[in-house]
Amino acid sequence: MKLEGIHHITAITGDAPTNVRFYVGTLGLRLVKKTVNQDDPTVYHLFYADEAGSPGSDLTFFEYPGAAKGVAGPGMVHRIVWRVASEDAISFWEERLQSQGIATEREAGSLVFSDPEGLELELRIDVSSEPALIADHPDIPRELALQGFDGVHAFSADPAASSAFLSDLLGFEKDGDEGWKARGEERSSFYIYDEAPRREGFGGAGTVHHVAWASPMEDHEQWHARLVSAGAGVTPIIDRFYFRSIYFREPSGVLFEIATLGPGFTADEPIESLGENLSLPPNFEQLRSKLEDVLTPLPDPLTEVRTR
C-alpha cells in the first residue's frame, strides 16, 4: 500500500470573510465546499482547492470567530508549500502579493509569505511532472496559478523518533537529511522536519490543525488495521460523507489523518456550483435553519474582482 501524497491540510481561522478573500480573491483558489465542522457543527469547515476540488489541492479551515492567533511549536506543521510552474510564476506572485501589502521573501525557485493570520506559505517551482491542480481566476493566468501541494514543514524536537513510524508503518521514503516523501501511483508530497523552536506551540488562528494523507478507497480499512496492530492510537474509521477518515499522531506529535480518494465533493453538488451554497451531510441537514442563523456571512471575492 502507498499513500497518494497529501489529501488535504486543515488549519484554523478566526475570520472567515478575510480568509475567503485571501485564499479565493488573492491566491486564486476555488471555494469548493462550504460546510460545517462535523465535530462542532456551529462553525464552518471551508475547503479551497483547484477547479474540481481534487485531493492534493484542498486547503481547509475551521472558523472559530474571533479566535486568538496561535503559535506553531514542536509537533506542529508550520509551513505549507504549493507548487508553481516557473520563475515567471514566482515573479508574478511576488509582484501580486507585494501590491497588496504582503511581505515576501524570495530565493531561487521559492517565495515565502504568510496569510493574514500568520500561517506561513511557500510557493516552489514544481519538479514532479505530476498533473497540475489549477483553479480558474480572472486575474491569474493558468500558467502562473498555484498547482496543488508540494508538501509541508513541521517542527520536531526529535525527528529520529519518527523515522521507523514513517518508513516502516506509513511507507514514506527518505528524502534528504530531515525529509520524507509519500509517493503513490499518481501523486507525491514531501514532509520535512525543521528544528523546533524553544517555545511551546498552541493552536489558534493561523495554525495548522492536521495534515491528511490520501488513500485509495480499497486500502483504507487495511491502513486502519495496520495502525491498530502497531498500537498507533488510531481512531475508528469516520465517515465524513465526502471522504472517510482515520486520525492518529505520529511520534513527533503532528496530527495525521488518512483520508480516502472519494466519494468527493460532487456527492451533493454539481461541479459547476461547488461551494456556492451551504452543504450539509445528510445527518446534519436537520440543523440547517439553526446553522444558517449562526454561521458568518461570507463574501464572494470573484464578484468583487469582476466589479472593480
Give me the pLDDT at residue 306, please.
54
Q: Is the pLDDT of residue 304 over 90?
A: no
* Each residue's pLDDT tens digit, 265-277: 999 999 999 999 9
Average pLDDT over residues 150-175: 97
**pLDDT class of 302 with cuts at 50, 70, 90:** confident
How confident is residue 303, by pLDDT bands cut at 50, 70 and 90? Answer: confident
**Model confidence at 46, in pLDDT bands (50, 70, 90)?**
very high
Sheet holding 208-215, edge to edge: 30-37, 40-49, 58-63, 6-13, 208-215, 255-263, 243-249, 238-239
Identity of residue 134: I
CA distance 27 to 101: 14
pLDDT at site 305: 54
Look at residue 307 and tell me whether its pLDDT is greater than 70.
no
Query: Domain-by-domain residue ranges, the chain?
Result: 6-306
Measured CA distances, 213 to 92, 144, 166, 201, 308 (Å): 30, 26, 12, 23, 39
* pLDDT, mean of residues 64-91: 98
**Residue/partner pairs of 285-291 with CB below 8 Å, 24 or more apart:** 287/41, 291/36, 291/41, 291/42
- Is the confidence at residue 264, as pLDDT, over 90? yes
Round the average pLDDT of the chain to a whole number and report it.
96
pTM of this prediction? Answer: 0.97
**Does residue 99 contact residue 45 with C-beta atoms inside 8 Å?**
no
Q: Which of 18-22, 160-164, 176-180, 267-271 has the lowest mean pLDDT?
A: 176-180
pLDDT at 176: 82
Per-residue pLDDT reduced to its tens digit, 108-121: 999 999 999 999 99
Cell of 117: 493570520
In this prediction, residues 159-175 reach a mean pLDDT of 97
pLDDT tops 60 at residue 308: no
pLDDT in tens, 7-17: 999 999 999 99
Which pLDDT value is given to residue 178?
Answer: 80
- Span of 119-128, 234-243, 299-308 with lowest mean pLDDT: 299-308
Whole-angstrom distance, CA of residue 267 vs CA of residue 35: 13
CATH fold of the domain at 6-306: 2,3-Dihydroxybiphenyl 1,2-Dioxygenase; domain 1 (3.10.180)
- Give pLDDT, residue 220: 98
**Poorest-pLDDT segment among 80-84, 117-121, 258-262, 303-307:** 303-307
C-alpha cell at 248: 492518529
- For residue 221, pLDDT over 80 is answered with yes
